[in-house]
Amino acid sequence: MKSFNRRKFLVFLAIIAVFISLTVFCASAETEGIFTYSVANDEATLTKVDYTGVKDIVIPETLGGYPVTELGDHCLKDDDSTLGEEAASVFIPKTVTSVNKSAFQDSDIKRIIVDENNPALSSDDFGVLYNKDKTVLFNAPSAFASDNYTVPSSVKSIREWAFHTCILLEEFTIPGTVENVGEAAFFHCLNMRKLTIEDGVKQLGDAHGCNVFAWCYALEEVRIPASLGVVAASAFTECYALESIVIPEGITEIQWCAFEYCPALKRVYLPSTLTTIVKGAFGNCTALTDICYAGSAEDWANVSIDTSPYAGSSPVVIDTCNIHYNISTEAYKDLTFENDNDILTFSGSGTIPGGWHYWDADKDTVTTVMIDGDYETIEAGAFADYPELTTVILDTDSTAIADGAFANCPNLQAVIFFGGSDFSASAFGFEGTCKVYENADAAHTLSTSQGGLTVIPYRFSASALSLLGEVTFESYEFFDTLAAFSLKYDDIQKLTFTRFTFDEIPLYFYPIEGKKTTKRVEDNTLINGEMYPLIYEDDAETPISFNQLVAGIADKSITSFSLISSDEAHPQIKDTPIVIENPQEEEDNNNEEGTESGIVSVIKKAMRWVITLLNKLFKILGKK
């Protein structure tokens, strides 16, 4: 009996040993060509693809005789990736019905193509991977070929890690049809500059931390919807370029570390609906000194604010900030501004409000305010007390400018309207004189000179800018105004005047259109004349137009120029060279070379730089 039991026990052990060995054998990694895989339950999972030098990866339907049903963790990771240079496409067969969330992480894949007969998966023309009915966005290839992408309206969910390390992506809009976005979905998108999350999106990550947009180092602009209810934990951690954030009405909580380590963040607008700010929410935001809050001081006192550092590493920031009360976040949600060489540029829509503003920090040095957008109102005090402001440019339609909007700007000389606006002299309330240039085809309420303002109607036709009235300029004022007009009309070759007088302007003009010789203006009056601004590139004998100058600065084909080639009557500006020291180097680095939007941006930047240069140069030289 004992012998029988022993034999039975040994047989049992042998069976167990065989079972274990078979299991180990089946689960061990196998290689077939460039594919490494494992087998379980008679199905193969792809674990690694060695696609160095391979441009088109075709995943087989079977490996080792087993159907390939799953793409495993990091199976397409390329440790030696030079993103985009050796990028490959990958074809997924109909047998693969499961794709791990990190399958394409750190890969060098430019396009994902799914067999149209696959019952569970699909892809679009951009090579983005979805479930079959495109309600869930699974993965985008890391070498994603598009710098911006529109999510289809059918999508309800964006999966975890979906756009992880898509470093070529620059702009992204999450439509309101998407209800939730998974953890780390856009983690490490290094070149994403602009992000719009439309109203309707309800959730980013989860309450335990999400990192949805963490490490998006280039992110400059974010639009957050009220539908989220909360700003999720670590959502924008280490977004180093983020300077401004507007939290809309309807958001009640900013969770832990939501904006931690955003060292450039210096403008924060908080809603009156806010009840809780969790610790570390603005940790290490070292540039943040002021916060605009839509509620009252009493409301702020009721907000639960944990100022303790998260994990003991984040310096307390928010409790040292200056809080400015009763400033509506709605007024700022569609407003953006930028100070570039003391030219303050606004874009967006809605209202430019009065009261306290972040842009007032530069009021003592700003020389030009350029408003480019669809603004309905500029409120009183929006730009009051700007001592160096000389020029206001309004490229907007139907804007009501309140009395006192530009009050106490003693050096204001020119206001240029490219569209129609409603205003009175009181909008520019100061003791002095100012020229208002208005499009003759756009009616304004101020139709005659009044209150220190001289109205000069103008028209632009073909390449000629016509000033319809008596105009008097000093040299720096002339060039500053010409530069401002050139921002709108980019092919100005000549200017015509009904009557033009000038003071100390050493200019030349062509008395007859097309004539190649130049003639010096002998006296200080030009009636019914045509004037061509003279700008010489280096030692060239033929002048170039102002706009050619700006375009040359933008593309770096012009590195130096002289405003007047030879003028004995004005030796202080004779052969005045101006050397350009790459004013657009930083902007060039931020714009992909060859794109239309990049070129336009660079030209605008160059134009603003030239306005500043001419304004300062001629203010010094023209008055000697």
Would you place residue 516 in the very low, low, confident or very high pLDDT band (cuts 50, 70, 90)? very low
Q: How confident is the model at residue 107 (pLDDT cuts 50, 70, 90)?
A: confident
What pLDDT sits at residue 105?
Answer: 85
Most confident of 107-111, 208-212, 479-483: 107-111
DSSP element (H, E) containing 536: strand 536-537
Q: What percentage of the chain reaches a pLDDT higher than 70?
A: 69
Q: What's the rounded mean pLDDT across residues 41-56?
A: 93
| 467 has pLDDT over 90 | no
d(C-alpha 149, C-alpha 137), whole Å: 13
Task: Please count the other Cβ atoms lying within 10 Å of the Cβ belonging to residue 154.
Answer: 13
The answer, yes or no, to whether residue 519 has pLDDT greater than 50, is no
Interval 41-51 mean pLDDT: 95
Strand 335-340 to strand 304-305: parallel, antiparallel, or no bridges (unpaired)? unpaired
Mean pLDDT over 150-174 rounds to 91
pLDDT of residue 453: 81
Instruction: Taking residues 296-311, report their average pLDDT.
Output: 88
Given this model, what pLDDT does residue 624 score? 37
Least confident of 110-124, 170-184, 280-294, 533-547: 533-547
Q: Quick one: which of 129, 79, 85, 87 has its CA closest to 108?
A: 87
At 580-609, the pLDDT tens digits run 444 444 444 444 444 444 545 555 556 665
Evaluate if pTM is beyond 0.85: no
What is d(CA 449, CA 203) in angstroms, rounded to the nearest whole number? 56
According to the model, what pLDDT value does residue 587 have? 44
Closest CA to 436 of 460, 464, 459, 412: 412
Averaged pLDDT for residues 215-222 = 93
User: pLDDT class for 221, splitting at 50, 70, 90?
Assistant: confident
Residues 6+ apart with CB under 8 A from 156: 135, 136, 177, 178, 179, 180
Res. 115: pLDDT tops 90: yes
380-425, pLDDT tens digit by residue? Answer: 999 999 998 988 999 887 788 898 899 999 888 889 988 877 777 7
Sheet of 129-131: strand order equals 121-123, 129-131, 136-139, 157-158, 180-181, 203-204
- Has residue 508 got a pLDDT over 50? no
Tokens describing residue 173: 């809009």
Question: Which residues, including other chains, have CB under 8 Å from residue 586's CB and lie 6 or more apart?
Answer: none
Average pLDDT across the chain, whole number: 78
Contacts 24+ apart (CB under 8 A), 578-584: 578/613, 578/617, 580/553, 582/556, 583/553, 583/609, 584/553, 584/554, 584/556, 584/609
Output the pLDDT for position 515. Answer: 37
Task: Kindly state the average pLDDT of the residues 566-579.
Answer: 41
Furthest-apart CA pair in the chain: how many Å? Answer: 134
421, 394 contact by CB (below 8 A): yes
Separation CA 221–CA 241 (nearest Å): 9
